Amino acid sequence: MEKRKLGFAGPEVPVICLGGNVYGWTLSETEAFRQLDAALDAGLNFVDTADVYSRWVPGNKGGESETIIGKWFAKTGKRRDVILATKVGMEMGENKKGLKAAYIRQAVEESLQRLHTDYIDVYQAHKDDSETPLEETLGAFNELVKEGKVRYIGASNYSGARLAEALETSRKNGFASYVSLQPHYNLVERQNYESDILPVVEKYEVGVIPYFSLAAGFLTGKYRSKGDAEKAARGAMVQKYLNDWGFAVVEALDELAHAHASTPARVALAWLLAQPGITAPIASATNERQLADLVEAAKLKLDTESIQKLNSVSMQKVAADALAG
């Protein structure tokens, strides 16, 4: 599978990142083990998770995804075959959130224990913590890198301005710098990344691994009506796309999938891979067909006309909102 650099100083990673958010949620431990085996066999060895996955599920407390991945490492002995990314900062319980140095130190030890590993390849700030000085957060991350518990650091959900400030803070203090950013970016969520974040990641040569790359499944064509959404675990996340504009995007994906003998999911991911700054879109899978889409998307190269068609239909709402504003 093709690989790209994860930031100027970061490792090379496959062009698709397997999302571990479904482990302990919509995939059981047994199913997750089966998926991880199949993904690794297909060359998809970049896995993203977080300590908070999947705390939102009734009965869960967080750490379920990391625990499942850690058990798989223990069972297979394949830890060093995987590029592992996880995150810290979302609420994990009382007084367990944010990016203060003491909490980062506590959280990384808990993640390492759950993951059955002594190092994390990419340790990421899950969201910006405006109440903690960047010097404190980055200083804590820097210590983990020096100790070998973390190889590289990344950020998620940072604005362009805060990302630039963080990178300059690392430069000024000689700290390890963020090599990657996880923004919310896909064919139907474009404006914030393209206007605010893209100039910064290009200037500082930061890798981009967008989440919700398939818009919570909407871009796969799974949701064709409000009724479809009401039946699904992620249905509430796609409500805002269930309109004429959203369905026009799906129709364009359908047409291009037919033209390329492909699927809407593969086309949507191939479009993302063709965008400036993108290193590896994150996407999860809950069955073999969806996993095959992730693997095959890396091989699909869209022609200029196809990309322009998707750009045109996806930007119609952005243009309409701009006129309305």
Give me the half-sphere count of Cα atoms (radius 13 Å) on the Cβ side of residue 135. Answer: 2
Mean pLDDT on 219-240: 78
3-state SS of the chain: helix, strand, coil percent to 5? 50, 15, 35
Torsion angle, CA of 184/308/228/182, rounded to 10 degrees? -10
Q: What is the pLDDT of residues 276-323, one digit of tens each?
A: 999 999 999 999 999 999 999 999 999 999 999 999 999 986 655 555
Q: Is the pLDDT of residue 229 over 70?
A: no
Cα torsion 123, 127, 131, 133: sign? positive
Domain ranges in the chain are 3-217+264-301
Q: Which of 53, 178, 185, 241 is catalytic?
A: 53
| CATH architecture assigned to 3-217+264-301 | Alpha-Beta Barrel (3.20)
Q: Which residue has the higher pLDDT, 152 or 226?
A: 152
Which pLDDT band, with edges at 50, 70 and 90, does 129 fall under? very high
Give catalytic status of residue 53 as yes or no: yes
Mean pLDDT on 143-171: 98
Q: Which residue has the higher pLDDT, 220 or 319?
A: 220
CA distance 15 to 273: 8
Which pLDDT band, with edges at 50, 70 and 90, does 224 fall under? confident
3-state secondary structure of 301: coil
Amino acid 254: pLDDT: 97
Share of the chain above pLDDT 70, in %: 95
Mean pLDDT on 52-56: 96
